């Protein structure tokens, strides 16, 4: 494996590598740097954003430039102002130990004469957006007639954004003998055209395979009803308490409205799209980089310049029209060797498009279920416990401790912990207690979580519910105690008004049915059966009557209210959900 030393870099750059904390070269650096250092060749490098491509061209560029000469020797074109600033700042870092090396960023929305003045003072490297560069050339503010190196960064994005004519015109002002280095995440036809037209015998390097997905990014999708898109997004955020994400919407309107809803619901969110002024966009990006914003809702165009490391999730609130855009979106996570997740919230009409993304990007998507309220509460509880454990003690609290201790000293350690976590936990518990869970849509467009899908679990109906004083936690506890089959056996407990549902692994089905043969709640026989419920459309079912919450009793209690069989018949009728499907074989399916 190469090291930065063996790639052939000079002392000053190696010192900068050290100062920046880079230890091993990334794949694109390993491949491109030796080639670019050794010869003055043209190169086409296919590499995603986040792979370390800026250093792959930045290091050799700095090595090759003569810092004692003030004239402009290198031009880097990049699609957006944000990327342009980012590259300029990286170049400054790379050249921090080289005296008299100057680079200037040239982009729209800032004073053109200030930028021209900086160039005049002497800038060996100009990093520019095509539009502003063209403007400066037209006004005679810049001379690129003697450059030796021209880098086209994110060439596919520049062409996507309609900069072909600008690029062509800018290149016509540069010498023919210069070297051209083209970096692109994908290789659409337009990029090949540029390579053919403006480059001579370029060396081609590829990181991963052409149009391939980044290996560090895991792809997942959740198929929900269209009305559940937003609730599903919220649940994904709640199930990932440390989420740091970009959420992509297709239109400015959706972007704005999703961000507004998230803010209203108490999330650290903001929108970024073309209707915001440059100033507003800068402010949003600053807060995002500082992590004051955890969920940045963006259009594809506005997100082009988002080069922020450590993004944990890219969420496709809607799928984009083309696969390249999907690839660009997901490339915002999994940067610099870190892992990331690209999530798609789909409706069933998108199912085929997921398949074609899988085929073209040669990757697989994991089909996931939207987390249940119960799962989210559990995650939040454990996250809270971890946060408490990792909290650094602030000695400032010392002075108040004697008084606080005297308030709390009658509590045992267990009670204290329980109360402490309850303070925060209750918020999620109370919220999700009231919410119906979001069911995945199967190929026919029905919710299918409650079927014995392929997850090896069985769903049961039980005739106790909220009316009996249960919520999902208390019912789960009671079921666990009654079944006595181990702590993780009961899950997906969903409590309705008069009845509830829960799951166990299918291997326990017989034991579960047997355990409830002779169980009574107060005087009512507790009835349990395997559920055919496909999607919570059975709110009107009639289960057992009321009765205060109590404990289950075993054995021949008074079954005077034992008209449950009547309820059972009702249930059978309603349980068809209008579909009139044959339920005779229901036991066989599990
Ligand atoms: P880029 O693909 O150039 O946008 O780089 C993505 C991020 O990775 C930037 O923040 C770089 O500073 C960082 N980076 C680039 N090369 C390395 C490396 N060899 N080791 C660690 N981090 C790197």
SS3 letters for 94-136? HCCCCCCCCEEEECCCCCHHHHHHHHHHHCCEEEECHHHHHHH
Ligand 1 centroid vs 237 CA: distance in angstroms? 27
Q: Is residue 552 predicted with pLDDT exceeding 80?
A: no
| Most ligand 1 atoms within 8 A of CB, residue of 54, 184, 216 to mutate | 54
Q: Is residue 559 predicted with pLDDT exceeding 70?
A: no
Please compute the mean of the pLDDT values over residues 455-480 and round it to a whole number.
86
pTM equals: 0.56
Look-up: residue for tokens 């491949």? 31
Is the Cβ–Cβ distance between 31 and 207 less than 8 Å?
yes
What does the pLDDT look like over 316-353, one tens digit per residue? 999 988 787 888 888 888 876 678 999 999 987 777 88
Q: Is residue 108 predicted with pLDDT exceeding 70?
A: yes
Q: What percent of the chain has pLDDT over 70?
A: 86
Range with lowest mean pLDDT among 169-183, 438-452, 566-580:
566-580
pLDDT mean across residues, the chain? 83
Write the burial class of residue 566 (CB in 10 Å: 0-12 exposed, 13-18 middle, 19+ buried).
Answer: exposed
Please compute the mean of the pLDDT values over residues 570-588 and round it to a whole number.
29
What does the pLDDT look like over 525-538, one tens digit per residue? 888 888 765 444 33
Question: How long a stretch of residues is the chain?
Answer: 590
DSSP state of 309: T
Q: Is residue 453 predicted with pLDDT exceeding 50?
A: no
Phi, psi (5° rounding) for residue 330? Answer: -70, -20
pLDDT classification of 542: cutoffs 50, 70, 90? very low
pLDDT classification of 440: cutoffs 50, 70, 90? confident
Write the burial class of residue 128 (CB in 10 Å: 0-12 exposed, 13-18 middle, 19+ buried).
Answer: buried
pLDDT at 362: 79
Rounded Cα–Cα distance for residues 469 and 447 (Å): 28
pLDDT at 191: 87
Please compute the mean of the pLDDT values over residues 562-584 and round it to a whole number.
29
Lookup: tokens for 477: 């506890």
Strand partners, 447: 441
Ligand 1 centroid vs 531 CA: distance in angstroms? 52
What does the pLDDT look like over 26-74, one tens digit per residue? 989 999 999 999 989 999 999 877 788 999 999 999 999 999 999 999 9
Ligand 1 centroid vs 337 CA: distance in angstroms? 8
What does the pLDDT look like over 235-257, one tens digit per residue? 999 999 999 999 999 899 999 99
pLDDT at 42: 95
pLDDT at 547: 36
For Cα atoms 341, 4, 331, give the angle at the middle one, nearest 5 degrees. Answer: 20
Is the Cβ–Cβ distance between 529 and 587 less than 8 Å?
no
Q: Cβ < 6 Å from ligand 1: which residues? A: 22, 25-26, 29, 49-55, 307, 309, 335-336
For Cα atoms 366, 370, 376, give the angle at the middle one, nearest 5 degrees. Answer: 120
Looking at ligand 1, which atom is closest to the CA of residue 25? 19
More confident residue, 365 or 348: 365
| Most ligand 1 atoms within 8 A of CB, residue of 55, 154, 185 to mutate | 55
Ligand 1 centroid vs 16 CA: distance in angstroms? 13
More confident residue, 427 or 39: 39
Look-up: residue for tokens 């070269």? 25
Please compute the mean of the pLDDT values over residues 100-124 and round it to a whole number.
95
For residue 374, count other CB atoms closer than 10 A to its CB. 22
């Amino acid at each position: 494996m190469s090291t930065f030393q063996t790639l052939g870099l000079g002392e000053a750059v190696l010192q900068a590598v050290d100062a920046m904390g880079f230890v091993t070269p990334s794949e694109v650096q390993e491949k491109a740097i030796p080639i670019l250092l050794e010869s003055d060749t043209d190169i086409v490098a296919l590499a995603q954003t986040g792979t370390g491509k800026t250093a792959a061209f930045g290091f050799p560029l700095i090595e090759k430039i003569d810092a004692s000469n003030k004239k402009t020797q290198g031009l880097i074109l990049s699609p957006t102002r944000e990327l342009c600033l980012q590259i300029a700042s990286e170049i400054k870092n790379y050249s921090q130990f080289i005296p008299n090396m100057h680079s200037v960023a040239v982009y729209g929305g800032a004073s053109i004469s200030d930028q021209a003045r900086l160039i005049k003072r002497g800038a060996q490297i100009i990093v520019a957006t095509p539009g502003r560069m063209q403007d400066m050339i037209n006004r005679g503010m810049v001379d690129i007639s003697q450059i030796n190196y021209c880098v086209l960064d994110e060439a596919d994005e520049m062409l996507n954004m309609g900069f072909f004519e600008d690029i062509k015109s800018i290149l016509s002002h540069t010498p023919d003998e210069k070297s051209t280095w083209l970096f692109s995440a994908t290789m659409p036809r337009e990029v090949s055209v540029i390579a053919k037209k403006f480059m001579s015998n370029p060396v081609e390097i590829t990181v991963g395979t052409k149009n391939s997905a980044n290996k560090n990014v895991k792809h997942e999708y959740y198929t929900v009803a269209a009305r559940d898109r937003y609730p599903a997004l919220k649940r994904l955020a709640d199930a990932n308490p440390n989420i740091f994400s970009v959420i992509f919407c297709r239109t400015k309107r959706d972007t704005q409205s999703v961000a507004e809803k998230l803010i209203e619901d108490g999330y650290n969110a903001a929108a970024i799209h073309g209707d915001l002024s440059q100033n507003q966009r800068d402010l949003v990006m600053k807060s995002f980089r500082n992590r004051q914003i955890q969920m940045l809702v963006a259009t594809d165009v506005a997100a082009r310049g988002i080069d922020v490391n450590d993004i944990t999730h890219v969420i496709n609130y809607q799928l984009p029209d083309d696969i390249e855009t999907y690839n660009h979106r997901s490339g915002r996570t999994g940067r610099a060797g870190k892992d990331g997740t690209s999530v798609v919230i789909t409706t069933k009409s998108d199912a085929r498009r997921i398949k074609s993304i899988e085929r073209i990007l040669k990757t697989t998507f994991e089909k996931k279920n939207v987390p249940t309220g119960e799962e989210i509460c559990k995650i939040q509880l454990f996250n809270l416990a971890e946060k408490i454990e990792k909290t650094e003690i602030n000695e400032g609290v010392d002075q108040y401790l004697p008084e606080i201790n005297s308030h709390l000293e009658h509590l045992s350690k267990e009670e204290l912990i329980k109360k402490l976590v309850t303070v925060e936990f209750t918020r999620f518990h109370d919220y999700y207690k009231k919410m119906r869970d979001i069911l995945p849509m199967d190929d026919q467009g029905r919710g299918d979580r409650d079927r014995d899908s392929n997850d090896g679990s069985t769903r049961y109906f039980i005739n106790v519910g909220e009316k009996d004083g249960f919520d999902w936690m208390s019912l789960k506890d009671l079921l666990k105690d009654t079944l006595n089959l181990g702590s993780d056996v009961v899950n997906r407990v969903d409590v309705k008004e008069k009845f509830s549902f829960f799951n166990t692994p299918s291997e326990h089905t017989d034991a579960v049915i047997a355990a409830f043969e002779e169980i009574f709640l107060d005087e009512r026989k507790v009835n349990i059966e395997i559920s055919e419920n496909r999607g919570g459309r059975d709110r009107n079912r009639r289960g057992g009557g009321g009765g205060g919450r109590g404990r289950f009793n075993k054995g021949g209690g008074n079954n005077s209210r034992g008209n449950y069989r009547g309820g059972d018949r009702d249930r059978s009728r309603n349980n068809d959900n209008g579909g009139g499907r044959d339920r005779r074989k229901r036991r066989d399916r599990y």
